[in-house]
Each structure stands twice: as C-alpha cells, then as structure tokens.
Amino acid sequence: MVAPEAPPDPDALKALLRGPVFLPGSAGYEESRSLWNAMIDRRPLAVARCLGAADVIAAVKFARERDLLLCMKGGGHNIAGLAVADGALLLDLSLMRGVWVDPRARVARAQAGCLLGDVDRETQVHGLAAVLGFVSATGIAGLTLGGGFGYLTRRFGWTSDNVLGMDVVTADGRLVRASEGENPDLFWGLRGGGGNFGVVTGIDYALFDVGPEVVGGLVAWPASEAPEVLGLYRAVAEAAPAELTLVALMRMAPPAPWLPKGIHGKPIVALLACYSGDPAEGERVVAPIKAFGKPVGDILVRRPYAQLQALLDATQPKGRRYYWKSEYLPRIEPALCAKFTEHAARIASPHSAVILFQIGGALNRLPAEHSPVGNRDARYVLNVAGSWERAEDDARNTEWARAAWSDMRPFGTGGTYLNFLTEDEGHARTEAALGRSLERLSRSKAKWDPENVFRTNKNIRPA
Ligand SMILES: Cc1cc2nc3c(=O)[nH]c(=O)nc-3n(C[C@H](O)[C@H](O)[C@H](O)COP(=O)(O)OP(=O)(O)OC[C@H]3O[C@@H](n4cnc5c(N)ncnc54)[C@H](O)[C@@H]3O)c2cc1C
C-alpha cells in the first residue's frame, strides 16, 4: 500500500480519542516522532497520543478501517527506531506512565508508556524492584517485550521471565489479558517476541527485595592496564555470587567530575558493579576491585538503588547518532579480551564504547522454551556501541562497530539480542535472536495477528 500524503479524516480520529492527535507541522508531532537515535528520521502520517486503553482501541480500529499502517512508541529508545514508521499512524503511549505497587502481593502494575525510572521510583518506596535495564530513560514496553536484562538479571532472569501478566489491544481492537491463566499462548509470545502481537497497555511485574541501598558504581583505570583489569574481570565475574553483576567497558574518559581532568579524553578501562544484596557483604565482595592497581577514579560505593539505575543516563543522551553491534557470549576468553582491547584502541568517537555485560545465572537455569527470548546459554552480552554527533562521521563510526563485531563474533553463542539489533540487520539476525522460538512465535502470530498488522518491528511472519 502506498501511504497517502495526508491523514484521512483527522477530525474523526480526534473525536474518538481522549488524548491529542498531532498532524505534521505541529510541535507535538515533532516531539512524538523524535527518537533517542538521531540516525532515524521518519515521518508518520499522524500521531495519536493515547491516554489509556480506550484510546488505543479507538486508534487501532480507526487505522484498520482505513487500511493505515500502525506503529507504536513506548520510550522511543530502540536503536533501530522501530517505534516510528514513515506514513503510519503512530500510537504514542508516552503519556501513559502510571505505576501502582501492591507491596503485599509484590507486584507492580505499570502502564506501557513508563520509563524504567518510573517503575524504580515507585517500587523503591517499598524497598522492592522489578528486573529492568541499566538506563533509566529506556521504555519498559520495548525492553520487556524483547527480553530485558539489567543488574538483577543474574538473580532473577530476563525481565520477560518476571512478567506476571499484560493487557493487550489485539489487531482486531479487543482488549485482552495475557497471563499464565488467560490466553497463555499470547502471554508466551509477548515475553520476548517484541511488539508483534498487539499494543500492550499495561505490564505486571514480579517484585523483589532490593535496596533502598546497594553497593554500586564504577572503578576506572588507564587503558594501558586493560590486560590486567580484564583478567580481574574474568576472575571476579566467574566466581561472583548472583547478587553481583559486573560490566567491563573501554572508552575515552568522559569529562565526568569523578575522573581527574588529566585523563579526560584519554582511553580508559572501567568496571561497573552492582551488589544488590546486603550492602555490608557487597563492600566485602567488591573490595578486590577497589584495591586493584592504581585506579584513576572510583565511585563504587553504597548508594540508593534508584540512583545506580540512573548512573549511566548522562552517557546516553537522546539525539546523538548511535550504531550498535552485539552478540551473546558463553564465557570470557583471554583471546576475546585481547580483541576487545584492540578494537577499543580504534574507537572513532569520544562517546563510543565496547562493553561486556554479565547476565549468567537464573536465566540459564530455565528451560529453553520458558519464553521466546530463549538464549539460555548466554552468560555475557558483547555490545559494540558507536555513539557520535555529526552525520558526516556516520561511515567512520559504523565501520568501526562492524569491524570490531565481526572480529569478536566467533567468540559468541551464535545468538544475539533482539533489542540491540540495528536498522540494517535483516531477518537472519532476528532468527539468530529468537532461534528455536521463531516457529512457535509464527504460529501464535497467525492466531493473534494473521494479517500482520503489527509489522513495523523485527517482524515475525504469521505461519
Ligand atoms: C541507552 C539505552 C540503554 C539500554 N539499556 C538496556 C538494558 O540495560 N537492558 C536491555 O535489555 N535493553 C537495553 N536497551 C535496549 C532496549 O531494551 C530497547 O531499545 C527497547 O526497544 C527500548 O524500549 P522502548 O519502549 O524505549 O522502545 P521503543 O523504541 O518505543 O519501541 C521499541 C519496539 O517496541 C515496540 N513497542 C513499544 N511500545 C509497545 C507497546 N506498548 N506494545 C507493543 N509494542 C510496543 C515498538 O513498536 C518497537 O517495535 C537500551 C537501549 C538504550 C537506547
């Protein structure tokens, strides 16, 4: 279908919704279509800024009746910009940010437009936390629907393993519940199959005792010490209790106040840690990291959990240009560390980084078919994260990321993370991300979205 140039019947759409409708040319339209990754610049036909499930139902029916392409946006943080499509009706859920916590049942119910920080803020009032990601401005919807990992993953599994239920508006405009007890096949598909099955309006998360204080933060050394520091990373991570999550990264030192001026702009290696159990035990566990060599900066301290969840935010601002390559790893081998260091030395921008996230633990103990996010053999995530400012530097930075990834890829499991796939990664990479789950997902897609209405994502074709 060729997209019409003007939205048909905008007044009819406005009359159907409680939230505003934005057309091209308005400030609201520009804000809604804007994404975290400035590499992506797409123009939907119109924006329906929904205020609740009723608005979502009305907008889905409106689009279906007029054969309009549909797309939906949570936090807008997807690297591939999957939330916004040219010529589509965009359902912007970013005003739906309510969070309700039931501390006795240990459940948080969050509207789908929430950012991670919204959920952390409300759950931490009760000393509880959901399993979410590392940057508080990320949307919960995209993160959860594609899997999700963060500081609590080693203890409790993927974010999607810890979802208790979702409310979903289906392709035929019905609001249905998806849980173990209701529509279990839909529930299964939603826990890793991306936004392929409908528009999620609410997510219920299981909560765990975490914080309010944890031991977390960064220790940094000059990049010349990378072989030793990465050796320490391997040793500590391998023996670490599940309460400890360790991330290794290499980049140019940012002009952050915790790093001395003399090192700004120079290459560093850093370890990011979170001990989410008893802080006194955490201090004991991270002591060998803090005592290692001669760090140039150390902010690995007791701090509020919610603060740790936002510690990296400033390094990932909206509006820069981003390009990632990523792979799951079964272990950290010394030869991989050598390549990691080599490619870090070739970084083409002061904002880029090579990162190793530790995720092994609870997720490895669940059966492969537990949820479609699968990849139960993954223990680390390699992320080659390109980040720069000017369009004229696109080629240099994307080439760096691709070269680093293809050199380190042989150390991977063969699987990759759906939520880290870039725009140019085709269906073969979606297959690599979903693996054996893809066939069952296609069958579920045929039942819940036989006409492939929800296709502006890493798409699962109906069987
Ligand atoms: C700075 C940064 C840090 C990150 N850190 C982590 C991390 O620590 N751990 C991790 O696991 N991932 C992380 N990610 C990846 C993140 O999980 C994905 O980018 C995810 O897609 C973001 O969700 P969003 O709601 O912001 O996405 P959006 O860009 O809004 O949407 C992404 C996809 O989800 C679909 N979608 C959005 N809302 C809905 C809905 N309500 N119903 C159905 N489909 C919907 C969209 O259509 C689109 O296909 C990070 C990303 C960034 C940019």
Instruction: Give the domain CATH number at 252.
Output: 3.40.462.20
Closest C-alpha among 406, 413, 354 to residue 383: 354
Q: Is 205 found in the same domain as 217?
A: no
**Residue 437 domain-assigned (yes or no):** no
**Residue 322 domain-assigned (yes or no):** yes
**Residue 63 domain-assigned (yes or no):** yes
Q: Is 78 found in the same domain as 33?
A: yes
pLDDT tens string 151-161: 999 999 999 99
Q: Is 228 found in the same domain as 188?
A: no
Q: Is 385 found in the same domain as 306?
A: yes
Q: Is 408 found in the same domain as 377?
A: yes
Distance CA 33, CA 209 (A): 37
Distance CA 44, CA 110 (A): 26
**Residue 438 domain-assigned (yes or no):** no
**Residue 301 domain-assigned (yes or no):** yes
Instruction: Give the domain CATH number at 48.
Output: 3.30.43.10
Query: For residue 6, what pLDDT band results from cuts at 50, 70 and 90?
Result: low
Q: What is the dihedral of CA 266, 289, 148, 402, to 10 degrees?
A: 40
Q: Is 147 found in the same domain as 235?
A: no
Residue position matching structure tokens 């074709």: 461
Q: Which residues contact 327 (CB under 8 A, 6 or more apart)?
A: 381, 382, 405, 408, 409, 411, 412, 413, 415, 416
Q: Is 226 found in the same domain as 189?
A: no
**Last residue within a domain, chosen from 209, 235, 251:** 209
DSSP conformational letter for 332: -
Please count the CA atoms within 13 angstroms of the CA of 255 that sit on its side-chain side. Answer: 0
> Which of 4-8, 46-50, 74-78 has the lowest average pLDDT?
4-8
Distance from the alpha carbon of residue 100 to the mean position of ligand 1, in angstroms: 21
Mean pLDDT of 382-403: 98
DSSP result, 76-124: S--TT-TT--TTSEEEE-TT---EEEETTTTEEEEETT-BHHHHHHHHH
pLDDT at 7: 73
Distance CA 329, CA 412 (A): 4
**Last residue within a domain, chosen from 171, 190, 209:** 209
Closest C-alpha among 136, 160, 156 to residue 148: 160
**Residue 457 domain-assigned (yes or no):** no
Q: Is 382 found in the same domain as 261?
A: yes
Residue position matching structure tokens 């900066």: 297
DSSP conformational letter for 207: -
pLDDT tens string 287-341: 999 999 999 999 999 999 999 999 999 999 999 999 999 999 999 999 999 999 9
Q: Is 345 found in the same domain as 223?
A: yes
Query: For residue 5, what pLDDT band results from cuts at 50, 70 and 90?
Result: low
pLDDT at 12: 95
**Residue 1 domain-assigned (yes or no):** no
Distance from the alpha carbon of residue 136 to the mean position of ligand 1, in angstroms: 12
pLDDT at 8: 80
Q: Is 306 found in the same domain as 394?
A: yes
Q: Which atom of ligand 1 is the closest one to the Cα of 72?
A: 47
**Residue 441 domain-assigned (yes or no):** no
Closest C-alpha among 263, 253, 243, 425 to residue 350: 253
Total domains, the chain = 3
Distance from the alpha carbon of residue 284 to the mean position of ligand 1, in angstroms: 35
How many Cβ atoms from other residues are within 10 Å of residue 398's Cβ?
A: 20
pLDDT tens string 8-35: 889 999 999 999 999 999 999 999 999 9
DSSP result, 247-310: EEEEEEPP--TTS-GGGTTSEEEEEEEEE-S-HHHHHHHHHHHHTSS--SEE--EEEEHHHHHT
Amino acid code (one letter) for 83: A
Mean pLDDT of 276-288: 98
Q: Which residues form the pocket of ligand 1, taking CB atoms under 6 Å from any ligand atom?
A: 36, 71-79, 82-83, 93, 112, 133-135, 138-139, 141-143, 145-150, 194-195, 199-200, 316, 419, 457
**Last residue within a domain, chosen from 92, 113, 129:** 92
Q: pTM of the full predicted structure?
A: 0.97
Q: What angle do CA 64, 456, 75 make, to 5 degrees?
A: 105
Structural domain harbouring 242: 213-420
Q: Whose CA is nearest to atom 4 of ligand 1?
A: 135
Residue position matching structure tokens 């921008």: 349
17-30 burial, b at 16+ Cβ within 10 Å, e below that, comes to bebbbbbeeeeebe
Q: Is 240 found in the same domain as 203?
A: no
Tell me: pLDDT of 265 over 90: yes
Instruction: Give the domain CATH number at 202.
Output: 3.30.465.10
Q: Are 214 and 302 in contact, with CB atoms under 8 Å apart?
A: yes
Q: Which of 132, 311, 419 to mutate to test the pocket of ligand 1 (most atoms within 8 A of CB)?
A: 419
pLDDT at 3: 47
Q: Is 192 found in the same domain as 244?
A: no
